[in-house]
Homo-oligomer: A and B are copies of this chain.
Protein backbone atom coordinates (compact mmCIF):
# COMPACT_ATOMS: atom_id res chain seq x y z
CA UNK A 1 0.00 0.00 0.00
CA UNK A 2 1.33 3.41 -0.85
CA UNK A 3 2.63 5.76 1.78
CA UNK A 4 1.24 9.28 1.62
CA UNK A 5 4.54 10.91 2.60
CA UNK A 6 6.43 8.90 -0.02
CA UNK A 7 4.00 9.86 -2.78
CA UNK A 8 3.98 13.49 -1.67
CA UNK A 9 7.77 13.61 -1.76
CA UNK A 10 7.80 12.44 -5.38
CA UNK A 11 5.09 14.81 -6.61
CA UNK A 12 5.87 17.31 -9.30
CA UNK A 13 3.73 19.52 -11.52
CA UNK A 14 2.51 18.96 -15.05
CA UNK A 15 -0.16 20.60 -17.22
CA UNK A 16 -2.32 17.44 -17.22
CA UNK A 17 -5.95 17.13 -16.11
CA UNK A 18 -7.23 14.30 -13.88
CA UNK A 19 -10.86 13.42 -13.25
CA UNK A 20 -12.14 11.06 -10.55
CA UNK A 21 -15.80 10.26 -11.05
CA UNK A 22 -17.23 8.51 -7.99
CA UNK A 23 -20.58 6.80 -8.37
CA UNK A 24 -21.41 6.36 -4.70
CA UNK A 25 -22.09 2.76 -3.70
CA UNK A 26 -21.56 1.65 -7.33
CA UNK A 27 -20.65 -1.99 -6.66
CA UNK A 28 -23.40 -4.50 -6.11
CA UNK A 29 -24.35 -8.14 -5.81
CA UNK A 30 -25.94 -10.32 -8.47
CA UNK A 31 -29.69 -10.38 -8.83
CA UNK A 32 -30.48 -14.01 -7.96
CA UNK A 33 -32.73 -14.21 -11.02
CA UNK A 34 -30.14 -13.18 -13.59
CA UNK A 35 -26.75 -13.58 -11.91
CA UNK A 36 -25.94 -9.99 -12.89
CA UNK A 37 -25.21 -7.05 -10.59
CA UNK A 38 -26.81 -3.62 -10.97
CA UNK A 39 -23.83 -2.39 -13.02
CA UNK A 40 -23.79 -5.55 -15.12
CA UNK A 41 -27.53 -5.24 -15.74
CA UNK A 42 -27.46 -1.58 -16.77
CA UNK A 43 -27.18 -0.73 -20.47
CA UNK A 44 -23.96 1.25 -20.45
CA UNK A 45 -22.53 1.63 -23.97
CA UNK A 46 -20.35 4.56 -22.98
CA UNK A 47 -18.88 2.97 -19.86
CA UNK A 48 -18.30 -0.25 -21.80
CA UNK A 49 -16.50 1.61 -24.58
CA UNK A 50 -14.44 3.36 -21.94
CA UNK A 51 -13.62 0.03 -20.27
CA UNK A 52 -12.29 -1.22 -23.63
CA UNK A 53 -9.89 1.72 -23.78
CA UNK A 54 -9.01 1.52 -20.08
CA UNK A 55 -7.23 -0.66 -17.60
CA UNK A 56 -9.63 -2.05 -15.00
CA UNK A 57 -9.59 -3.50 -11.52
CA UNK A 58 -11.35 -3.69 -8.17
CA UNK A 59 -10.53 -1.57 -5.14
CA UNK A 60 -10.90 -2.13 -1.42
CA UNK A 61 -11.49 1.06 0.58
CA UNK A 62 -9.91 -0.49 3.68
CA UNK A 63 -9.21 -4.21 3.39
CA UNK A 64 -11.09 -7.38 2.44
CA UNK A 65 -14.20 -7.92 4.54
CA UNK A 66 -14.32 -4.40 5.96
CA UNK A 67 -17.40 -2.33 5.10
CA UNK A 68 -16.50 1.35 5.07
CA UNK A 69 -18.62 4.39 5.78
CA UNK A 70 -18.59 7.01 3.03
CA UNK A 71 -16.22 9.27 4.95
CA UNK A 72 -13.36 6.76 5.32
CA UNK A 73 -14.00 5.41 1.80
CA UNK A 74 -13.53 8.86 0.25
CA UNK A 75 -10.46 9.52 2.38
CA UNK A 76 -8.92 6.39 0.83
CA UNK A 77 -9.83 7.51 -2.71
CA UNK A 78 -8.01 10.78 -2.02
CA UNK A 79 -4.91 8.88 -0.85
CA UNK A 80 -5.37 9.17 2.92
CA UNK A 81 -5.21 6.03 5.07
CA UNK A 82 -8.68 6.12 6.64
CA UNK A 83 -7.52 4.26 9.73
CA UNK A 84 -4.61 6.62 10.33
CA UNK A 85 -6.55 9.76 9.42
CA UNK A 86 -9.77 8.85 11.14
CA UNK A 87 -12.46 11.50 10.97
CA UNK A 88 -14.60 11.33 14.11
CA UNK A 89 -18.20 10.26 13.92
CA UNK A 90 -19.43 13.54 15.35
CA UNK A 91 -17.55 15.48 12.69
CA UNK A 92 -18.98 13.36 9.87
CA UNK A 93 -22.49 13.80 11.25
CA UNK A 94 -22.09 17.56 11.53
CA UNK A 95 -20.59 17.85 8.06
CA UNK A 96 -23.32 15.59 6.73
CA UNK A 97 -26.08 17.96 7.81
CA UNK A 98 -24.19 20.98 6.55
CA UNK A 99 -23.01 22.56 9.82
CA UNK A 100 -20.01 24.79 9.26
CA UNK A 101 -17.28 23.43 11.56
CA UNK A 102 -14.42 25.59 12.77
CA UNK A 103 -11.19 24.13 14.18
CA UNK A 104 -12.29 24.97 17.74
CA UNK A 105 -15.78 23.46 17.46
CA UNK A 106 -16.78 20.17 19.06
CA UNK A 107 -19.20 17.84 17.26
CA UNK A 108 -21.17 14.79 18.44
CA UNK A 109 -23.75 12.45 17.07
CA UNK A 110 -26.92 12.15 19.08
CA UNK A 111 -29.85 9.74 19.31
CA UNK A 112 -33.22 10.71 20.64
CA UNK A 113 -34.25 8.09 23.20
CA UNK A 114 -37.07 7.21 25.57
CA UNK A 115 -36.60 7.39 29.35
CA UNK A 116 -39.04 5.86 31.79
CA UNK A 117 -38.47 5.70 35.53
CA UNK A 118 -34.96 7.12 35.08
CA UNK A 119 -33.72 4.43 32.71
CA UNK A 120 -33.60 4.20 28.93
CA UNK A 121 -36.35 1.96 27.61
CA UNK A 122 -35.75 2.63 23.91
CA UNK A 123 -32.37 3.83 22.62
CA UNK A 124 -33.98 5.02 19.38
CA UNK A 125 -37.21 6.49 20.74
CA UNK A 126 -39.23 4.16 18.52
CA UNK A 127 -37.37 5.52 15.46
CA UNK A 128 -39.36 8.73 15.46
CA UNK A 129 -40.06 10.34 12.09
CA UNK A 130 -37.53 12.75 10.63
CA UNK A 131 -40.25 15.44 10.84
CA UNK A 132 -40.68 14.98 14.57
CA UNK A 133 -36.89 14.95 14.90
CA UNK A 134 -36.77 18.34 13.12
CA UNK A 135 -39.42 19.78 15.42
CA UNK A 136 -37.55 18.62 18.53
CA UNK A 137 -34.26 20.04 17.23
CA UNK A 138 -35.98 23.38 16.74
CA UNK A 139 -37.21 23.26 20.32
CA UNK A 140 -33.71 22.44 21.59
CA UNK A 141 -32.23 25.33 19.60
CA UNK A 142 -33.60 27.63 22.28
CA UNK A 143 -31.12 26.34 24.89
CA UNK A 144 -28.53 28.93 25.94
CA UNK A 145 -25.12 28.15 27.45
CA UNK A 146 -22.43 30.48 28.71
CA UNK A 147 -19.59 31.02 26.24
CA UNK A 148 -20.73 28.20 23.96
CA UNK A 149 -23.36 28.03 21.23
CA UNK A 150 -25.11 24.69 20.71
CA UNK A 151 -26.22 23.87 17.16
CA UNK A 152 -28.42 20.78 16.82
CA UNK A 153 -29.81 19.58 13.48
CA UNK A 154 -31.82 16.54 12.41
CA UNK A 155 -30.38 13.64 10.46
CA UNK A 156 -32.75 10.74 9.73
CA UNK A 157 -35.33 9.25 12.11
CA UNK A 158 -33.93 9.39 15.69
CA UNK A 159 -30.44 10.64 14.78
CA UNK A 160 -29.19 14.19 14.90
CA UNK A 161 -25.94 16.14 14.82
CA UNK A 162 -24.85 18.41 17.63
CA UNK A 163 -22.08 20.99 17.49
CA UNK A 164 -20.79 23.21 20.27
CA UNK A 165 -19.27 26.34 18.76
CA UNK A 166 -16.82 27.72 21.27
CA UNK A 167 -13.18 27.64 22.27
CA UNK A 168 -11.04 25.56 24.61
CA UNK A 169 -13.30 22.53 24.05
CA UNK A 170 -11.84 19.01 24.17
CA UNK A 171 -12.87 15.89 22.24
CA UNK A 172 -11.47 13.70 25.02
CA UNK A 173 -14.80 13.13 26.73
CA UNK A 174 -16.97 10.03 26.99
CA UNK A 175 -20.21 9.04 25.31
CA UNK A 176 -23.39 9.25 27.40
CA UNK A 177 -24.98 6.29 25.60
CA UNK A 178 -24.91 3.21 27.87
CA UNK A 179 -25.40 1.07 24.72
CA UNK A 180 -28.28 -0.89 26.22
CA UNK A 181 -31.69 -0.34 27.67
CA UNK A 182 -32.52 -0.61 31.37
CA UNK A 183 -29.73 1.79 32.34
CA UNK A 184 -29.72 5.54 32.91
CA UNK A 185 -27.79 7.72 30.45
CA UNK A 186 -24.16 7.98 31.56
CA UNK A 187 -22.73 11.29 32.65
CA UNK A 188 -20.23 12.78 30.20
CA UNK A 189 -16.75 12.41 31.71
CA UNK A 190 -13.22 13.48 30.85
CA UNK A 191 -11.12 10.69 29.38
CA UNK A 192 -7.93 9.77 31.28
CA UNK A 193 -5.22 12.25 30.33
CA UNK A 194 -7.79 14.67 28.91
CA UNK A 195 -6.70 17.36 31.34
CA UNK A 196 -8.54 20.45 32.44
CA UNK A 197 -10.05 21.18 29.02
CA UNK A 198 -11.74 17.78 29.04
CA UNK A 199 -13.03 18.34 32.59
CA UNK A 200 -14.50 21.69 31.60
CA UNK A 201 -15.99 20.26 28.41
CA UNK A 202 -17.64 17.35 30.26
CA UNK A 203 -19.18 19.76 32.77
CA UNK A 204 -20.50 21.93 29.91
CA UNK A 205 -21.96 18.88 28.11
CA UNK A 206 -23.68 17.71 31.33
CA UNK A 207 -25.13 21.18 31.89
CA UNK A 208 -26.44 21.14 28.33
CA UNK A 209 -27.98 17.66 28.79
CA UNK A 210 -29.73 18.81 31.98
CA UNK A 211 -31.36 21.59 30.00
CA UNK A 212 -32.28 19.13 27.22
CA UNK A 213 -34.05 16.93 29.77
CA UNK A 214 -36.05 19.97 30.91
CA UNK A 215 -37.03 20.99 27.38
CA UNK A 216 -38.09 17.47 26.37
CA UNK A 217 -39.77 16.47 29.64
CA UNK A 218 -43.30 16.40 28.18
CA UNK A 219 -42.40 14.81 24.87
CA UNK A 220 -43.14 11.21 24.03
CA UNK A 221 -41.51 8.90 23.04
CA UNK A 222 -38.43 11.12 22.51
CA UNK A 223 -37.92 12.68 25.93
CA UNK A 224 -34.11 12.63 26.06
CA UNK A 225 -30.95 12.40 23.97
CA UNK A 226 -27.72 10.43 24.29
CA UNK A 227 -24.47 11.69 22.77
CA UNK A 228 -21.53 9.82 21.26
CA UNK A 229 -18.53 10.24 18.98
CA UNK A 230 -17.33 13.61 20.32
CA UNK A 231 -14.78 14.89 17.83
CA UNK A 232 -13.16 18.00 16.45
CA UNK A 233 -12.04 18.64 12.90
CA UNK A 234 -8.93 16.54 12.31
CA UNK A 235 -5.76 18.25 11.23
CA UNK A 236 -5.16 16.76 7.78
CA UNK A 237 -2.38 17.48 5.34
CA UNK A 238 -3.91 19.36 2.37
CA UNK A 239 -4.15 17.58 -0.95
CA UNK A 240 -2.89 20.70 -2.72
CA UNK A 241 0.28 20.68 -0.61
CA UNK A 242 0.75 16.92 -0.74
CA UNK A 243 0.58 16.57 -4.51
CA UNK A 244 1.12 20.08 -5.89
CA UNK A 245 -2.32 20.01 -7.46
CA UNK A 246 -5.20 22.43 -7.62
CA UNK A 247 -8.17 20.22 -6.76
CA UNK A 248 -11.81 21.04 -7.37
CA UNK A 249 -14.81 19.11 -6.03
CA UNK A 250 -18.10 18.98 -7.95
CA UNK A 251 -20.36 17.47 -5.30
CA UNK A 252 -23.89 18.24 -4.23
CA UNK A 253 -24.34 16.47 -0.89
CA UNK A 254 -23.07 18.27 2.22
CA UNK A 255 -21.05 15.38 3.61
CA UNK A 256 -19.03 14.82 0.41
CA UNK A 257 -18.48 18.54 -0.08
CA UNK A 258 -17.29 18.65 3.50
CA UNK A 259 -14.87 15.73 3.19
CA UNK A 260 -13.49 17.28 -0.01
CA UNK A 261 -12.97 20.59 1.78
CA UNK A 262 -11.43 18.77 4.73
CA UNK A 263 -8.59 17.50 2.53
CA UNK A 264 -8.12 20.89 0.92
CA UNK A 265 -10.17 20.78 -2.28
CA UNK A 266 -12.06 23.84 -3.47
CA UNK A 267 -15.78 23.53 -4.05
CA UNK A 268 -16.99 24.18 -7.56
CA UNK A 269 -20.46 25.81 -7.71
CA UNK A 270 -22.95 23.36 -9.18
CA UNK A 271 -26.67 22.70 -9.57
CA UNK A 272 -28.13 19.50 -8.15
CA UNK A 273 -28.34 17.20 -11.22
CA UNK A 274 -25.55 15.21 -12.84
CA UNK A 275 -26.05 17.33 -15.94
CA UNK A 276 -25.49 20.43 -13.78
CA UNK A 277 -22.36 18.84 -12.38
CA UNK A 278 -20.99 18.21 -15.86
CA UNK A 279 -21.71 21.82 -16.79
CA UNK A 280 -19.92 22.98 -13.66
CA UNK A 281 -16.98 20.74 -14.52
CA UNK A 282 -16.74 22.21 -17.99
CA UNK A 283 -16.93 25.75 -16.62
CA UNK A 284 -14.09 25.15 -14.15
CA UNK A 285 -11.98 23.04 -16.53
CA UNK A 286 -9.10 25.53 -16.79
CA UNK A 287 -8.95 26.24 -13.08
CA UNK A 288 -7.98 22.87 -11.63
CA UNK A 289 -5.63 19.93 -12.26
CA UNK A 290 -7.77 17.37 -10.44
CA UNK A 291 -11.53 17.10 -10.30
CA UNK A 292 -13.59 14.97 -7.92
CA UNK A 293 -17.14 14.51 -9.18
CA UNK A 294 -19.53 12.82 -6.80
CA UNK A 295 -22.78 11.20 -7.91
CA UNK A 296 -24.93 10.21 -4.97
CA UNK A 297 -28.00 8.39 -6.27
CA UNK A 298 -26.49 4.97 -7.00
CA UNK A 299 -25.91 4.66 -3.24
CA UNK A 300 -29.33 6.04 -2.29
CA UNK A 301 -31.19 3.56 -4.52
CA UNK A 302 -28.96 0.73 -3.25
CA UNK A 303 -29.82 1.70 0.34
CA UNK A 304 -33.49 1.63 -0.65
CA UNK A 305 -33.02 -1.93 -1.87
CA UNK A 306 -34.31 -0.85 -5.29
CA UNK A 307 -32.26 -2.83 -7.80
CA UNK A 308 -33.99 -1.44 -10.89
CA UNK A 309 -33.80 2.17 -9.74
CA UNK A 310 -30.06 1.76 -9.11
CA UNK A 311 -29.71 0.33 -12.63
CA UNK A 312 -31.57 3.39 -13.97
CA UNK A 313 -29.19 5.75 -12.12
CA UNK A 314 -26.18 4.04 -13.67
CA UNK A 315 -27.81 4.34 -17.10
CA UNK A 316 -28.45 8.06 -16.54
CA UNK A 317 -24.78 8.63 -15.77
CA UNK A 318 -23.79 6.59 -18.80
CA UNK A 319 -26.00 8.65 -21.09
CA UNK A 320 -24.37 11.90 -20.02
CA UNK A 321 -20.83 10.53 -19.92
CA UNK A 322 -19.84 11.72 -23.43
CA UNK A 323 -19.91 15.31 -22.14
CA UNK A 324 -17.20 14.35 -19.65
CA UNK A 325 -15.21 12.32 -22.18
CA UNK A 326 -15.32 15.22 -24.65
CA UNK A 327 -13.31 17.31 -22.22
CA UNK A 328 -10.46 14.86 -22.91
CA UNK A 329 -9.04 14.48 -19.42
CA UNK A 330 -5.51 13.02 -19.47
CA UNK A 331 -6.49 10.65 -16.69
CA UNK A 332 -10.07 9.54 -16.17
CA UNK A 333 -11.16 7.20 -13.40
CA UNK A 334 -14.69 5.91 -12.87
CA UNK A 335 -15.27 3.95 -9.69
CA UNK A 336 -17.27 3.75 -6.45
CA UNK A 337 -16.31 4.60 -2.88
CA UNK A 338 -17.77 1.30 -1.62
CA UNK A 339 -20.44 -1.15 -2.74
CA UNK A 340 -24.12 -0.71 -1.85
CA UNK A 341 -25.86 -3.84 -3.16
CA UNK A 342 -29.63 -3.42 -3.43
CA UNK A 343 -29.77 -6.96 -2.04
CA UNK A 344 -28.17 -5.82 1.23
CA UNK A 345 -29.88 -2.39 1.40
CA UNK A 346 -26.70 -0.89 2.76
CA UNK A 347 -22.96 -0.49 2.37
CA UNK A 348 -20.99 -3.68 1.95
CA UNK A 349 -17.44 -4.98 2.01
CA UNK A 350 -17.29 -5.97 -1.66
CA UNK A 351 -14.61 -4.19 -3.64
CA UNK A 352 -15.61 -1.45 -6.11
CA UNK A 353 -15.20 -1.80 -9.88
CA UNK A 354 -12.76 0.71 -11.37
CA UNK A 355 -11.63 1.81 -14.80
CA UNK A 356 -8.68 4.09 -15.48
CA UNK A 357 -8.15 5.61 -18.91
CA UNK A 358 -4.85 7.26 -19.76
CA UNK A 359 -2.60 7.15 -22.81
CA UNK A 360 0.15 5.83 -20.50
CA UNK A 361 -1.57 2.68 -19.30
CA UNK A 362 -1.46 -0.90 -20.50
CA UNK A 363 -4.60 -2.49 -21.82
CA UNK A 364 -6.36 -5.56 -20.48
CA UNK A 365 -9.07 -7.89 -21.80
CA UNK A 366 -11.97 -6.12 -20.06
CA UNK A 367 -14.53 -5.01 -22.62
CA UNK A 368 -17.48 -4.15 -20.39
CA UNK A 369 -17.69 -2.32 -17.09
CA UNK A 370 -18.84 -4.73 -14.38
CA UNK A 371 -17.68 -6.38 -11.19
CA UNK A 372 -16.84 -9.82 -12.60
CA UNK A 373 -15.05 -8.32 -15.57
CA UNK A 374 -13.05 -5.91 -13.39
CA UNK A 375 -12.02 -8.80 -11.11
CA UNK A 376 -9.99 -10.03 -14.07
CA UNK A 377 -8.75 -6.57 -15.07
CA UNK A 378 -5.15 -5.55 -15.56
CA UNK A 379 -4.95 -3.63 -12.30
CA UNK A 380 -6.08 -6.59 -10.22
CA UNK A 381 -7.65 -6.12 -6.80
CA UNK A 382 -5.93 -3.33 -4.92
CA UNK A 383 -6.22 -0.77 -2.17
CA UNK A 384 -8.16 2.42 -2.87
CA UNK A 385 -5.25 4.25 -1.27
CA UNK A 386 -3.11 3.32 -4.26
CA UNK A 387 -5.46 5.11 -6.65
CA UNK A 388 -4.15 8.63 -6.08
CA UNK A 389 -0.50 7.71 -6.83
CA UNK A 390 -1.70 5.76 -9.88
CA UNK A 391 -3.61 8.80 -11.17
CA UNK A 392 -0.67 11.10 -10.46
CA UNK A 393 1.70 8.70 -12.22
CA UNK A 394 -0.53 8.62 -15.29
CA UNK A 395 -0.66 12.40 -15.21
CA UNK A 396 3.17 12.30 -15.22
CA UNK A 397 3.19 14.06 -11.89
CA UNK A 398 5.39 11.66 -9.93
CA UNK A 399 9.16 11.57 -10.02
CA UNK A 400 11.19 8.40 -9.79
CA UNK A 401 11.93 7.00 -6.33
CA UNK A 402 15.67 6.58 -5.90
CA UNK A 403 18.37 6.73 -8.52
Residues of A within 8 A of B (CB): 1-3, 6-7, 10, 29-30, 35, 37, 58, 62-72, 82-83, 86-87, 89, 92-93, 96, 109, 343-344, 346-350, 360-365, 371-372, 375-382, 386, 388-394, 398-403
Contacts and interface: CB of A to CB of B under 8 A. Distances in A.
Contacts of A343: 360
A2 B69 contact: no
Nearest to A399: B67
Contact of A393 (B66, B360, B377, B390): B66
Chain A interface helix/strand/loop/mixed: loop
A364 to B, nearest CB: 6
A310 to B, nearest CB: 16
Which residue, A390, A391, A399, has most C-beta atoms of chain B within 10 A? A390
Given A30-B363, A360-B29, A386-B64, A72 B401 contact: yes
A151 B377 CA distance: 50
Contacts of A399: 67
A159 to B, nearest CB: 10
B66 A401 contact: yes
A364 B392 CA distance: 31
A242 to B, nearest CB: 14
7 nearest A-B pairs in the assembled complex, by CB-CB distance: A65-B389, A69-B402, A380-B381, A72-B402, A64-B386, A65-B393, A65-B390
